[in-house]
């Protein structure tokens, strides 16, 4: 495995869509695989009799409308809880206790409102041990600074809309060529612009706006001790901090006080204490330092690249030279009115005529080409 310590977590948006879609379902499942004995063996407070097969808990609806938002709010809280973040009782709970309390909270709500089908669904799909690790943050020691897959989605958006917008289902060789020759240099150039300060990261703009909004809210003085607010660890036990994407809340922002706008250019997020790093230590080595550490292999690679570039330009020089000689011959024979010679060599220019016609048609097309189907060898690599 390339990243043995990585955590694969379900995207927050997909989680919410899956749960809300299921809760809106008006049909009861025809088959249920809920095993109350196994659930009771793991958590003794779960009543074995509380299951869909028990006629005592008959239900005509999967989940009434008035309970749906509360169920999602419970799941959203359980999703964000973590041993590194204190709860409202000023305690840092272990991962096992967090899961136990989450199961108890969801089970109690379902049983009090006779939501037997909802509890069966919640246990099978989300709260059993093998499903819990797929979406709960507490299942991993460190906190992920991302809750979405937008970075990956953004990568595919750039690739498809900026580089492959003319192609539907491109061939593998074309895709590899665009990745190596187009996309990677583009991303390297953008990365160097960010390192040099010429371009600001999008999340820095968003966190600056969020910080400004929270600084205008004044919290109560006793709330700082109530929620164990700590600037050193940049952590707070308030409900807003728990679900905030930037680990911000009005308690931390106001406790920090006024900050210089340049802070948001060097601000860094972290997956351990402190969750926000406010010092001026560099995130990465400067570009010029990294360039000075080239190995001999990189030097040889650069030399080979230069040779390839030279050979690539030579082919153009040869084509231009032979074309110029051909034009000179045509001009000479035209001055001599040598029509017989022209008729004898005209067939040699048929392929050139075909090339020019195909390129002109390609440039004036009104529809996007379908990968290689709408291409010939004259237009396939035309820019």
CA 190 to chain CA mean position, Å? 17
What the block records as the tokens of 20 is: 């809300």
CB 102 within 8 A of CB 122: no
Q: How far is CA 51 from CA 17, 47, 280, in A?
A: 25, 8, 57
What integer pLDDT is reported at residue 125 of this predicted model? 94
What the block records as the tokens of 267 is: 């601000």
Half-sphere exposure of 123 (CA within 13 A, CB side): 30
Domain ranges of the chain: 12-139, 150-195, 202-277
The whole-angstrom separation of Cα 287 and Cα 191 is 10
Q: What is the pLDDT of residues 295-335, one digit of tens each?
A: 444 545 555 555 555 566 788 888 888 999 999 999 989 99
In this structure, the strands spanning 276-277 and 268-269 are antiparallel
Q: How far is CA 148 from CA 11, 31, 79, 151, 249, in A?
A: 5, 33, 13, 8, 20
Sequence-distant (≥ 6) Cβ neighbours of residue 226 within 8 angstroms: 90, 237
Quote the pTM value.
0.66
The whole-angstrom separation of Cα 235 and Cα 256 is 12
Please report where in the chains the tokens 């330009």 appear, as a residue.
Answer: 313
Q: Which of 226, 266, 268, 263 is nearest to 247 (CA)?
A: 268
Residues of the chain short of pLDDT 70, as ranges, are: 1-3, 148-149, 279-312, 366-374
What integer pLDDT is reported at residue 59 of this predicted model? 74
What integer pLDDT is reported at residue 165 of this predicted model? 82
Q: What is the pLDDT of residues 66-105, one digit of tens each?
A: 999 999 999 999 999 999 999 877 788 999 999 999 999 9
What integer pLDDT is reported at residue 307 of this predicted model? 52
Q: Angle 219-144-238 (CA atoms, 0-180°, nearest 5)?
A: 20
> How big is the chain by its Cα radius of gyration, in Å?
32
**Alpha-helical runs (H) found in the chain:** 12-23, 36-42, 65-80, 95-112, 116-122, 129-132, 150-158, 172-178, 184-195, 202-215, 223-226, 239-243, 250-256, 263-266, 287-291, 296-335, 339-345, 350-363
The whole-angstrom separation of Cα 285 and Cα 268 is 15
């Amino acid at each position: 495995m390339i990243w043995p310590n990585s955590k694969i977590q379900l995207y927050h948006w997909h989680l919410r869509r899956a749960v809300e879609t299921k809760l809106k379902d008006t049909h009861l499942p025809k088959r249920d695989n809920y095993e109350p004995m196994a659930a009771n063996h793991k958590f003794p407070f779960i009543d074995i009799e509380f299951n869909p097969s028990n006629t005592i808990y008959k239900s005509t609806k999967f989940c009434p409308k008035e309970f749906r938002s509360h169920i999602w709010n419970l799941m959203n809280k359980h999703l964000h809880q973590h041993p590194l973040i204190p709860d409202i009782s000023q305690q840092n709970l272990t991962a096992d206790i967090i899961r136990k309390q989450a199961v108890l909270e969801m089970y109690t709500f379902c049983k009090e409102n006779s939501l037997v089908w909802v509890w069966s669904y919640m246990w099978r799909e989300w709260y059993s041990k093998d499903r819990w690790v797929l979406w709960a943050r507490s299942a991993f020691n460190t906190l992920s600074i991302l809750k979405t897959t937008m970075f990956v989605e953004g990568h595919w958006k750039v690739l498809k809309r900026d580089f492959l917008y003319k192609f539907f289902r491109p061939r593998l060789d074309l895709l590899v060529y665009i990745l190596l020759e187009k996309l990677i240099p583009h991303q390297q150039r953008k990365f160097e612009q960010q390192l040099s300060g010429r371009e600001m990261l999008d999340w820095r703009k968003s966190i600056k706006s969020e910080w400004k909004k929270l600084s205008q809210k004044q919290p109560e003085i006793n709330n700082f001790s109530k929620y164990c607010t700590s600037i050193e660890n940049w952590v707070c036990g308030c409900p807003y901090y728990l679900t905030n994407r930037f680990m911000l809340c009005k308690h931390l922002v106001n406790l920090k006080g006024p900050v210089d706008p340049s802070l948001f250019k060097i601000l860094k997020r972290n997956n351990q204490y402190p969750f926000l790093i406010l010092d001026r230590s560099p995130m990465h080595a400067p570009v010029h330092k990294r360039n000075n550490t080239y190995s001999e292999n990189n030097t040889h690679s650069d030399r080979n690249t230069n040779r390839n570039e030279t050979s690539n330009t030579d082919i153009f020089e040869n084509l231009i030279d032979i074309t110029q000689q051909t034009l000179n011959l045509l001009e000479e024979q035209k001055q001599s009115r040598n029509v017989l010679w022209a008729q004898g060599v005209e067939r040699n220019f048929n392929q050139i005529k075909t090339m020019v016609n195909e390129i002109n048609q390609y440039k004036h097309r009104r529809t996007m080409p379908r990968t290689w189907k709408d291409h010939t060898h004259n237009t396939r690599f035309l820019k």
